[in-house]
Structure 1
Amino acid sequence: MKNYHSLLARMNRKSLQVSMKGTGMQNGRRKSHIHGTSLDFADYRIYHPGDDIRQIDWNVYGRTNKPYIKRFQDEKEISVSILLDATSSMKQVPSKWELARELAASLAYITLSHEDRLSFAAVSTKLSFHRKGSVHNKRTFYEIVDMKEQTINESFTQSLISSLSAPSQMIVLITDGLEALSLFEESFKRLKFRNQPIWLIQLLSETEINPHLSGDIQLVDSENGKMVDVSLNNSIKMLYKKRLTQHNQELEILCATHGIRYCQISDKLDIQTIILRELAFTGLVQ
């Protein structure tokens, strides 16, 4: 098993950047637009009959001869939904599947470490759960990293909506994005009505981006398990790379059309680089 001690220690200082302010009902570590009783000063307002007289700032009263009340910024939780593509396509390349689990586990860890509420689902498996608070952060991280649930449904896009079992202030989708764009568009249209920030992280393996195989080979169709005879030469590989690039570009445009933040990463990067550099650069992690 990998040693994640350094990664976990550094992620304790990170948080997910959510464009809407915290509006949850429970206390958390995010600043809300609601004024409450945290230790962070917000502003003053004039005293009104019925206000708690203990909140009057007597120093200000002495200077202005007017009773002002200190207002503090309350801290409210947010709810984050993380949906990990666990289809056969994601599991076909071991390095990609391992990194996908590490990525989902890291984002879940950051969420819980800030006392926020997490909804996690490995789409196309039976694994899903809801948790809140830093007391669960390490256990959840290793549970996701070590998950071995069997795929029971092959389609990420068709299972996506049913996997969102709880309302949230942010949705993070982790997928290779290799399903038909029409299926993604249908899912995006349904997600749009939830009116919340959505991130799509497209994770691809280097062997998918730059296939190194050549000659007459047999490939396994990840969706149905059948063997396919393929003759790979330079022209075929160039055509494949062109189509993959076009597919990825159209997926990015589709995300932008539906207000979804898009980020593409490769399994040539390690998880610490992705969390602390790549996702920090995109603005998801701060």
Structure 2
Amino acid sequence: MSKPPFLEAELMRKLERLTIASKGRVRGTLQGKRRSRLLGSSLEFADFRPYAPGDDIRRIDWNVYGRTGKAFIRQYWDEQELTVRLYVDESRSMRFGEIGGPNKLACALRLAACVGYSALSGEDLVSAHSFADRMTATLPPIRGKGSAGRLFEYFERRLEDNSEDRIGSDDLSDAFLQPGALPRKPGQSWLFTDGLYGSGLEQTLNAFASARQHLVFVQLLSPDELAPSLSGELKLIDSESGAAKEVAIGRGVMAAYYAVLREHTESIRQLCAERGFAYLLVDTSVPVADTAVRALLSEGLLM
């Protein structure tokens, strides 16, 4: 029996018609479909400037010369590629989800695949990275829709990797403050995580800003985290550290939980807004296709 495709054909057709929204013009290294701040040789007109000795006379606008008697050079926007980097949190808490249903990691990987496929279809450069307390796996940069198979294979391997040797960390910055963890060249990065860290969120966002990345922070939470149905005497186990705690859950405890959760997600949203980053909260019970097409479109992350 053949393995089902990582992304459905209908979803892929929709993604092919979308492009990754970039913040302003993009300065890349190779020719692509996006305008950079540089002037170059695309077909999109930018401006005129006076002719100077040494300029290519083929770029003179002779119609303007005929009207004014002065020589002006036509300038065009340089079209270059966008570099898109996908970072997926594969810490133990990301494997938490509904019993028998998809967990947060599965949702994150498929959503990252959607973003990556849309970028490849738009001739952008794409790389993928997985992390826990450190960077655990990397897919080197690829380009072109024909490379989508490599991207899907990478994410499938990460989903099937059930290694239990990952060291738990309560500090998100542990992975991103290591040498070489973040790119040297500017671009757009997507961070897929549940954001359930006790510290390191602000340091991580600062690191992305220092690396000249426009970050899209995608926080994924399961229905059991957004609206847990818990009551009575329970033993709660930390999925990262394995520490257990017995608690009596009543209305007061649940009210406090919702308040803390709301404060935590809003703090991430605010930290992102202060740095000009995008933020999206994802309910993993919503089909990935709906999140990829509707939510990302409505938030202006795809267009």
Q: TM-score normalised by the shorter chain: which range applies? A: 0.7 to 0.9
Matched with 2:115 is 107
1:48 shift after superposition: 2.4
Matched with 2:207 is 190
Matched with 1:211 is 228
Aligned counterparts of 1:108 and 1:209: Cα–Cα separation in 2: 27
Q: Which moved more, 1:125-134 or 1:96-105?
A: 125-134
Matched with 2:57 is 53
Aligned counterparts of 1:190 and 1:34: Cα–Cα separation in 2: 26
Aligned counterparts of 2:88 and 2:202: Cα–Cα separation in 1: 18
Q: Which moved more, 1:158-167 or 1:142-151?
A: 142-151
Correspondence list, 1:15-94, <5 A: 15-93=19-97, 94=102
* Paired residues of 1:98 and 1:145 also in contact (CA < 8 A): no
Q: Secondary structure at the match of 1:127?
A: strand
Q: Does 1:161 align with 2:161?
A: no
* Paired residues of 2:176 and 2:207 also in contact (CA < 8 A): no
**Paired letter, 2:190:** V
Matched with 1:177 is 195
**Paired letter, 1:157:** S
1:218 shift after superposition: 4.0
Aligned counterparts of 1:142 and 1:6: Cα–Cα separation in 2: 19
Q: Does 1:278 align with 2:286?
A: no
Aligned counterparts of 1:153 and 1:107: Cα–Cα separation in 2: 28
Equivalent of 1:131 in 125, 136, 141: 141
Q: Which moved more, 1:121-130 or 1:171-180?
A: 121-130
Query: Compared with structure 1, are the counterparts of its residues 146 and 187 closer, same or farther at alpha carbon in structure 2 (3 Å cutoff)?
Result: same
Aligned counterparts of 2:87 and 2:241: Cα–Cα separation in 1: 23
Aligned counterparts of 1:224 and 1:118: Cα–Cα separation in 2: 33
- Structure 1 unaligned runs (5+)? none
**Paired letter, 1:117:** L
* Matched residue count: 285
* Paired residues of 2:61 and 2:72 also in contact (CA < 8 A): yes
TM-score, structure 1 length as denominator? 0.87
Q: Deviations over 1:236-264 (max 9, x none)?
A: 32222222112222222333344433221
1:95 shift after superposition: 3.0
1:234 shift after superposition: 3.3
Q: Secondary structure at the match of 1:18?
A: coil
**Paired letter, 2:281:** Q
1:30 shift after superposition: 0.5
- Structure 2 unaligned runs (5+)? none
* Paired residues of 1:105 and 1:142 also in contact (CA < 8 A): no
Q: Does 1:252 align with 2:269?
A: yes
Aligned counterparts of 2:153 and 2:68: Cα–Cα separation in 1: 57
Query: Compared with structure 1, are the counterparts of its residues 193 and 217 closer, same or farther at alpha carbon in structure 2 (3 Å cutoff)?
Result: same
Matched with 1:141 is 152
* Paired residues of 2:89 and 2:105 also in contact (CA < 8 A): no
Aligned counterparts of 1:202 and 1:73: Cα–Cα separation in 2: 35
Q: Which moved more, 1:182-191 or 1:260-269?
A: 182-191
Quote the sequence identity (%): 31
Aligned counterparts of 2:177 and 2:20: Cα–Cα separation in 1: 22
Query: Compared with structure 1, are the counterparts of its residues 6 and 166 closer, same or farther at alpha carbon in structure 2 (3 Å cutoff)?
Result: farther
1:146 shift after superposition: 4.9
Equivalent of 1:122 in 112, 124, 130: 130
* Paired residues of 1:20 and 1:169 also in contact (CA < 8 A): no
Pairwise CA RMSD of aligned residues? 2.5
Aligned counterparts of 2:209 and 2:46: Cα–Cα separation in 1: 33
1:206 shift after superposition: 0.9
* Paired residues of 2:107 and 2:284 also in contact (CA < 8 A): yes
* Paired residues of 1:102 and 1:145 also in contact (CA < 8 A): no
1:133 shift after superposition: 1.4
Query: Compared with structure 1, are the counterparts of its residues 176 and 26 closer, same or farther at alpha carbon in structure 2 (3 Å cutoff)?
Result: same
**Paired letter, 1:123:** F
